[in-house]
Amino acid sequence: MKLALVTAYPPSKVTLTEYAYYLVKHFRLQDEVTELVLITDYTEEPKDLEFEEEGCKITVEQSWRFNSYTNLLSISRTISKTKPDAVLFNLQFLKFGDKKIPAALGLMLPMYCKFKGIPTISLLHNILEQVDLENAGFTKNRLLQKAYNFIGTTLTRFVLASDILAVTISKYVTILEKKYKARNIALIPHGSFETPPEPSYQLPEGPKQVMAFGKFGTYKKVEILIEAVELIRARSSEDIEIVIAGTDSPNTPGYLESMKEKYSHVSQIRFTGYVAEEDVPSLFGESAVTVFPYTSTTGSSGVLHQAGSYGNAVVLPDLGDLSILVREEGYIGEFFNPIDTTSLADAIEKIITNDSYRIELGKTNYRAACSLPMSEITRMYVEYFKAIKLSKSEGFELELPKNIKELESQYI
């Protein structure tokens, strides 16, 4: 199989680059994949393709730019030129731009592939029906929210033109099947980026690091985390360092810089900026707890899967997709009210003051992460592509069963 992956890719700062890196890392080791064609956005620096193990051939085709009005044409030309056997789109609604027209045009690409007869799977990391448009930084205007929902419904229909639309949370399957009467929805879990050797769960000497990781400013807010730690410091003798790891959300440039100024009086606070891939293990390995200071959710959480891979205890808001994900995939942590600083302080303090409890959470999360490695997730995609190819060659309509084991027994 010559597989094309349409995605942003490191060192790009466009969304979902990290997920793409691990898709590539593990697709290249699948026996059925003989070549990977990466149809990526343009970057000045070379793409990060340094892997320890040898795998299949990788071809990079830089073909699109964020917010370009010509992405539909340039990507379709690249697909025609490279002639892949199958195409996987790594998508969310603002993948190709945060302006309406470029975003919409990019999401028409699965329809193009379907028209060309190329087996196509679109991985959609979020669905607009589950996004809080105000908290996620889209708009506060109620009329505009209605307009976005209408546009989102239209764009979803574009993406549903794929042979298979893959989502990472079971609730998304139910919503899409009910609203759009769709029968081509597959549940393929997010998966864990790495499954490193089980950690020791011991912390380094010095202050206990309370860490948040991501792109901040829209629904990911650091204020509540900083103020919760200050509350713990005021009522206990715990030695705590606050670690804010990551960058601004594209929708809120300058947010973290403003937070540095606002909280310049707070001691032991560190803003790391962009975290390179090689620095991720030490970031999680040195943290006593990973905190998710979210006011909303927009899909499955890569950070939760990373925290699990490195045996971290986690503190989560009790809302939306995170609550579903924890129940479905076996992660555990302390929950807090996302608008209550005291609730967050209590949750953090319960973990960092009880080492045995912290380790128990970390071990459970590590086991959950190991149960869904990215190698297994990419294998699922290969099996689905094989089923699509069989249905096209035999001339029958593919009817998706409820899980990959049923698919294999019926079609593979």
Which one of 2-6, 273-277, 334-338 scores highest in mean pLDDT? 2-6
Q: In the Cβ-directed half-sphere of 153, how many Cα atoms lie within 13 Å?
A: 10
Q: At a CB cut-off of 8 Å and minimum separation 6, what does 27 contact?
A: 3, 5, 33, 36, 56, 378, 381, 382
Tokens 């597989």 found at: 3
Binning pLDDT at 50, 70 and 90, where does residue 24 land? Answer: very high
8-state DSSP, 223? H
- Mean confidence (pLDDT) of the chain: 88
Q: Contact, 101 vs 67, CB < 8 A?
A: no
Which one of 35-39, 92-96, 196-200, 301-305 scores highest in mean pLDDT? 35-39
Binning pLDDT at 50, 70 and 90, where does residue 144 land? Answer: low
Q: Where do the CATH 3.40.50.2000 domains begin and end in the chain?
A: 2-191+373-405, 208-370
Tell me what the mean pLDDT of segment 260-284 comes to. Answer: 92
Tell me what the mean pLDDT of segment 348-371 comes to. Answer: 94
pLDDT of residue 136: 47
Q: Two tokens at 369?
A: 């992460």
pLDDT of residue 133: 47
> Is pLDDT of 83 > 70?
yes
Q: Can you give the pTM of this predicted structure?
A: 0.75
Tell me what the mean pLDDT of segment 11-18 comes to. Answer: 87
Q: Which of 159, 161, 162, 132 is nearest to 148 (CA)?
A: 132
pLDDT of residue 186: 93
Tell me what the mean pLDDT of segment 103-121 comes to. Answer: 92
CATH entry, 208-370, from 3.40.50.2000, 3.40.50.300, 3.40.50.2300, 3.30.420.10? 3.40.50.2000
> Is pLDDT of 263 > 90?
yes
CATH homologous superfamily for 2-191+373-405? Glycogen Phosphorylase B; (3.40.50.2000)
pLDDT of residue 276: 82
Higher pLDDT, 290 or 149: 290
Q: Contact, 313 vs 289, CB < 8 A?
A: yes
